[in-house]
Amino acid sequence: MAEVKYHHVGKKFGEHEVIPDLDLHIKDGEFIVYVGPSGCGKTTLLRMLAGLETLSAGQIWIGDNNVTNMSPKHRNVAMVFQNYALYPHMTVAENIGFGLMVRGTPKSDRRKKIEQAAALLDIDNLLDRKPKEISGGQRQRVAMGRAIVREPDVFLMDEPLSNLDAQLRHQMRAELRNIQQRLGVTMVYVTHDQVEAMTMADRIVVLDKGQIQQLGTPREIFQKPKNRFVASFIGTPHMNILPWEQCRGHGITVPDAFQDLCNHHHVYDIGFRPADMTLADEDGVIKLTIKTLLVENLGNDVLVHGQIGGEGGHVRALIPTEQAPSQGDELAVAISLSKLHLFDEKGEAIGSS
Ligand code: ATP
């Protein structure tokens, strides 16, 4: 177990700067998730930590060791890849124990560790099978088992669930989290799937263009996004973000308290989550009327796609199915002031710090 520190880390591929200057402190035993759009640098950050990619600037520390120039095998990290990288001709037990065999661990010790890991992962009845004789989810566990027996300081995972179907992904998310907690290891996990990040992480690193946009617990990131990028990236369905000027001209009624706030700050965009719009008619809320363009049935709720005041922006509202409007209906909705996100011209959240 160990903490991890990125200290002024930079990375260039030729002239292409992927990570400008990044500082990050991952705590011992923490489950940390790097999330962000394709190409934002998640995998590069992970590979630099694993020693599979050199740094162009800065240092990386694992515990008390400056590992910046250390070879991967001396870093005591274990990486689980998207494609599992299992040896097809070896049994599950041989795959799990391969790293130990290479290291020269005696056979009896090896067997014990393999059996312990297999029991933890609930694959102890599959030890004599070959990878082609087990399911995708089971293969994923074997890859995990191979990492566990090495007893690394840090586990690194790059989109390990992306080859699984939706139901299995869901199940494995909970299992991985459970295993990490039982082992008490530091886990660094890369995904572009913000739901995965929200459900698994102790803290999330939201990245864009190689820069940390926000570092925080899932709750902090969801409830207090620091800027427009984080607000629009995290949360399903996505937050509605509209230029305030455009809204004002299109029949939004605001309470005095909000008008006061706008007078003091330069509000450029306003944001509100589809689930935070209600049909209740109360005081202290922002009110707007939406022309229903499309109604998507999600089961308990419907997602209404609509337009504010004719020419206004598009918005999405999550409404209980029993209150669902029909296409073309006008829908009067309210948003409580506490659920509103305000952004300045640069996209920074107003009043979030
Ligand atoms: P994805 O979610 O698509 O895997 P990512 O956030 O993991 O994306 P990286 O794989 O870290 O992104 O890539 C970051 C940037 O660095 C991209 O613009 C990519 O094209 C570039 N890049 C990555 N590896 C190399 C390389 N070996 N040579 C040149 N450019 C690279």
pLDDT at res. 140: 85
- Closest atom of ligand 1 to CA, residue 53: 27
- Alpha-carbon gap, residue 109 to 28, rounded angstroms: 27
- Nearest Cα residue to atom 28 of ligand 1: 13
- Closest atom of ligand 1 to CA, residue 47: 11
Rounded to the nearest angstrom, the distance between the alpha carbon of 56 and the centre of ligand 1 is 15
CB of 278 within 8 A of CB of 337?
no
- Nearest Cα residue to atom 17 of ligand 1: 39
- Nearest Cα residue to atom 16 of ligand 1: 18
- Closest atom of ligand 1 to CA, residue 190: 7
- Nearest Cα residue to atom 22 of ligand 1: 13
- Nearest Cα residue to atom 19 of ligand 1: 39
CB of 32 within 8 A of CB of 189?
yes
- Alpha-carbon gap, residue 212 to 275, rounded angstroms: 27
CB of 301 within 8 A of CB of 320?
yes
Q: Is the peptide bond before 160 cis (omega within 30 degrees of 0)?
A: no
Burial class of residue 61 in the structure, from the number of CB atoms within 10 Å of its CB (0-12 exposed, 13-18 middle, 19+ buried): middle
Distances in Å between the alpha carbon of 289 and those of 200, 229, 239, 315, 329?
37, 26, 17, 11, 10
**94 Cβ neighbours under 8 A, 6+ residues apart:** 87, 101
- Alpha-carbon gap, residue 187 to 175, rounded angstroms: 14
Token pair listed for 276: 């935070």
Rounded to the nearest angstrom, the distance between the alpha carbon of 39 and the centre of ligand 1 is 5
**277 Cβ neighbours under 8 A, 6+ residues apart:** 315, 317, 318, 319, 333, 334, 335
- Closest atom of ligand 1 to CA, residue 207: 6
pLDDT at res. 58: 97
- Alpha-carbon gap, residue 252 to 271, rounded angstroms: 13
Token pair listed for 161: 């669930």
From first to last of its 353 residues, what are the pLDDT tens digits of the chain? 689 999 999 999 999 999 999 999 999 999 999 999 999 999 999 999 999 999 999 999 999 999 999 998 889 898 887 777 889 999 999 999 998 888 888 988 999 999 999 988 888 899 999 999 998 888 888 998 998 898 889 999 998 888 778 888 888 888 889 888 888 899 999 998 888 999 999 999 999 999 999 999 999 999 999 999 999 999 989 999 988 877 776 667 777 777 777 777 788 899 999 999 888 767 778 888 889 999 999 999 999 999 886 566 889 999 999 999 999 999 888 888 888 899 999 999 987 54
Rounded to the nearest angstrom, the distance between the alpha carbon of 24 and the centre of ligand 1 is 19
**Choice from 19, 42, 162 to test ligand 1 binding pocket (greatest atom count within 8 A of CB):** 42
Rounded to the nearest angstrom, the distance between the alpha carbon of 45 and the centre of ligand 1 is 10
- Closest atom of ligand 1 to CA, residue 40: 6
User: Which residue is it, tokens 């880390």?
Assistant: 9
Rounded to the nearest angstrom, the distance between the alpha carbon of 37 and the centre of ligand 1 is 11
Share in percent of the chain as helix, strand, coil (round to 5): 35, 30, 35
**Choice from 13, 35, 53, 157 to test ligand 1 binding pocket (greatest atom count within 8 A of CB):** 13
- Alpha-carbon gap, residue 26 to 49, rounded angstroms: 12
- Nearest Cα residue to atom 29 of ligand 1: 13
pTM of the model: 0.90
Helix (H, G, I), strand (E, B) or coil at 25: strand
pLDDT at res. 353: 44
Which has the closest alpha carbon to 198: 221, 167, 165, 181?
Answer: 221
Helix (H, G, I), strand (E, B) or coil at 336: strand
pLDDT at res. 174: 87
Pocket of ligand 1 (CB under 6 A): 13, 16, 18, 36, 38-44, 192
Rounded to the nearest angstrom, the distance between the alpha carbon of 177 and the centre of ligand 1 is 26
Rounded to the nearest angstrom, the distance between the alpha carbon of 150 and the centre of ligand 1 is 28
- Nearest Cα residue to atom 10 of ligand 1: 43
Token pair listed for 181: 């907690």
